């Protein structure tokens, strides 16, 4: 199977993107990152793409006449590059139903908790880890899932847990979970590019 074309969508630091860049350049993913698209011009993730000669596109929402125009530009970017897999790596904008329908089963997201816990609207970044600790949860972790029209509601592909230790802070938990995120996002992209992820309704089977 010839390598697939990946688009990685980012909004921030891009450490998950970096894990994907490293894996692809080392041949651990049978695909190429055709474009990195950010909804923030100042995302360091764009710099990471430039460092590796990967096309980096910054789409500043303020430069578009509304969300529909921004979403139409995203679609155009995907179509023009024959994207096979869209990876949301800390992307903070919500994809419209038009895109989640058109690319159903081809969009994956990394979330820093064990879905269905601590996810959904308003649960992103540090807020997730703060909620985990405030709730007194003993385990947390990361989840890679397919993106559907909901928020963090798509079929779960991979999960891995970490212990929430005594005295854990949102910062120390975030750091622990981020290590897992990097492992899972690479593994999920690699499995997808090898055609080993089977969607059976809401269930995912790894071949």
Instruction: Name the residues annotated as catalytic.
Output: 111
Choose which of 13, 93, 151, 161 interacts with ligand GRF (CB under 6 A): 13
Residue 161 in contact with ligand GRF, rule: CB under 6 A: no
Complex with ligand GRF: residue 47 or 80, whichever CB lies closer: 47
Residue 109 Cβ, how far from ligand GRF at the closest point, in Å? 7
Q: Of 9-17, 66-74, 163-171, 190-198, which part binds ligand GRF (CB under 6 A)?
A: 9-17
**Beta carbons of 190 and 33 less than 8 angstroms apart:** no
Choose which of 12, 31, 141, 154 interacts with ligand GRF (CB under 6 A): 12
Residue 179 Cβ, how far from ligand GRF at the closest point, in Å? 11
Choose which of 5, 16, 38, 100 interacts with ligand GRF (CB under 6 A): 16
Residue 141 in contact with ligand GRF, rule: CB under 6 A: no
Q: Which residues bind ligand GRF (CB under 6 A)?
A: 10, 12-17, 45, 89-90, 110, 112, 125, 181
């Amino acid at each position: 199977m010839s390598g697939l074309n990946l688009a990685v969508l980012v909004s921030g630091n891009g450490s998950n993107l970096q894990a994907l860049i490293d894996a692809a350049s080392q041949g651990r993913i049978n695909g190429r990152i055709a474009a990195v698209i950010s909804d923030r011009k100042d995302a360091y993730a764009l710099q990471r793409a430039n460092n590796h000669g990967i096309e980096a596109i910054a789409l500043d929402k303020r430069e578009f006449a509304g969300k529909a125009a921004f979403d139409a530009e995203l679609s155009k970017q995907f179509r023009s590059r024959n994207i096979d897999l869209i990876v949301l790596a800390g992307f903070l904008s919500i994809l419209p139903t038009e895109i989640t329908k058109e690319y159903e089963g081809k969009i994956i997201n990394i979330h820093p908790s064990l879905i269905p816990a601590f996810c959904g609207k308003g649960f992103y970044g540090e807020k997730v880890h703060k909620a985990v600790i405030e709730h007194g949860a003993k385990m947390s972790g990361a989840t890679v899932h397919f993106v559907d029209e909901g928020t963090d509601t798509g079929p779960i592909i991979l999960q891995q847990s970490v212990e929430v230790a005594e005295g854990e802070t949102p910062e120390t938990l975030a750091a622990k979970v981020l290590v897992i995120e990097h492992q899972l996002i690479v593994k999920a992209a690699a499995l997808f590019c090898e055609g080993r992820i089977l969607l059976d309704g809401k269930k995912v089977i790894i071949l």
